Structure 1
């Protein structure tokens, strides 16, 4: 039986070197029934040119949703991308996260009405991020701990994210102390649920705006499943110049209010209230 399709939202901003590696990763997916919707927060012509080139090279459809550059407005472009999604199941990730070949297969297998799925990522240092080639992605080298160690990765328990298989990954999903929150780099849910809470809160800048979406979904009665050791992607390194103490503090206050008042709907989301 052919599994129902998935819309994959990939956020990006002027990061062509990373974006092309991510889009190559999606071209290697075992699960083939999907589209990629690129949520582009004001990138320049180089990103548009890259996307136009890759549209002709990859095996899946790409939709490019773009807005003018007005600073960090990720929540706004994500809402536009949500509306552009063709399918009733949506996965959100970032233009710096390369998916392992079973990434979409895992999300498709675990999805269930009344739930969203919470995955994580495996962080790579800058030197390894730059070394990864298209051939390394096609061969799966960037998910191979031995290859990564030969290229400078340190030994760590965190490496288990890449090595855990089958029963072990399910056990680790169960025992991990990490909350099964909505993580913008690796989370998926039903479009009707996301629309029911009015999508992302566009008042929020960097720092937990993805988690806040998940917290409103919880308030709506949606539960979550932990798949951080099953749905694997590697995170390419980058600076975070848009992270400010002010945005972190503002977003924390919004999330505290959402929690205390059991808020489900944001008035500054996909639909705008006068």
Structure 2
């Protein structure tokens, strides 16, 4: 199995740099074939330069997939990157979500036919995020002990303690099989075949909001259940200002239409790239 990690970004090179540093530090117990694709929603030249600076010494193939900045089009750029990927299994990650060193390994372990993985995130505070983004060795946070993480939680730097804690809870991971509300596209693992079968993300969702829920619901209709990735594939979510939510109400209406319908394929999705 080859894994393609698709990282969505937009004009936040310092955050993306930390995410790439996290991906560069992946540790596996056995060789895993993988690649990383940066799904760039129209960033400026500083993001281009950053990716180029990493490509010469990255541990796997690192590709840059870009389209013009025409507003928030995360679904469209994810579809474009997925179309260019070579993996059997796709892991979607946001460009402000720093993966732990076993992120690749744990997603490979959790991958299972007829299931997709909903990962979780540990939220970092505004002040702690600002500090990390100005430190050249910020990725050394991955070397913290369990007590350092616990102290960070007590001091308000994070909303959860012990992101390094791993639990073998195989049976419990399938108890929320249909809870589409827990699915976030910032940390999500899905088989390529299933992604193609539902025509990827629905690009008719304009601006921020609910396209990941629509995606999750259509996968469930396909017969693919949700597998809980908590205590296996957490990511550190760097603080950022709230996205423009002017389209949220409109997107919620589209999600309600999805809930009332029976369609499985995205109305505008992967197929639009070849039409």
TM-score (norm 1): 0.87
User: What's the counterpart of residue 54 of structure 1?
Assistant: 54
Deviations 1:198-226 (A, max 9, x none): 11111112112112111101111111111
Aligned counterpart for 1:23 among listed residues 11, 20, 24: 20
Distance 1:234 1:143 in 2: 15
Distance 1:83 1:196 in 2: 13
Aligned counterparts, 1:149-228, within 5 A: 149=151, 153-154=155-156, 159-160=160-161, 162=163, 164-167=165-168, 179=179, 181-204=182-205, 205-228=207-230
User: What's the counterpart of residue 257 of structure 1?
Assistant: 257
Deviations 1:137-167 (A, max 9, x none): 24614685625735984298x5246253334
Contact 2:8-2:93 at 8 Å conserved across structures: yes
Distance 1:88 1:22 in 2: 22
Q: Which 10-residue stretch deviates more, 260-269 or 38-47?
A: 260-269
Distance 2:41 2:156 in 1: 34
Q: How much is the aligned-residue C-alpha RMSD, in angstroms? A: 2.7
Distance 1:143 1:254 in 2: 44
16 and 148 in structure 1: CA distance in 2 versus 1, 3 angstrom threshold: farther
Distance 1:98 1:41 in 2: 19
User: What's the counterpart of residue 271 of structure 1?
Assistant: 271
1:255 CA drift (Å): 1.7
Following TM superposition, the consecutive aligned residue runs of length 4 or more in structure 1 with deviations greater than 4 angstroms are 141-145, 169-178
Contact 2:119-2:184 at 8 Å conserved across structures: yes
2:51 pairs with 1:44: no
Q: Which runs of 5+ in 1 are unaligned?
A: none
Distance 2:216 2:42 in 1: 25
Distance 1:36 1:226 in 2: 23
Q: Which runs of 5+ in 2 are unaligned?
A: none
Distance 1:233 1:143 in 2: 16
User: What's the counterpart of residue 231 of structure 1?
Assistant: 233
Contact 2:125-2:157 at 8 Å conserved across structures: no
Distance 1:177 1:84 in 2: 29
Aligned counterparts, 1:7-22, within 5 A: 7-22=4-19
Deviations 1:178-205 (A, max 9, x none): 9364311111111111111111111112
Q: Which 10-residue stretch deviates more, 100-109 or 138-147?
A: 138-147
Contact 2:149-2:161 at 8 Å conserved across structures: no
Q: Which 10-residue stretch deviates more, 58-67 or 127-136?
A: 127-136
TM-score (norm 2): 0.87
Contact 2:204-2:267 at 8 Å conserved across structures: no
Distance 1:142 1:251 in 2: 40
User: What's the counterpart of residue 242 of structure 1?
Assistant: 244
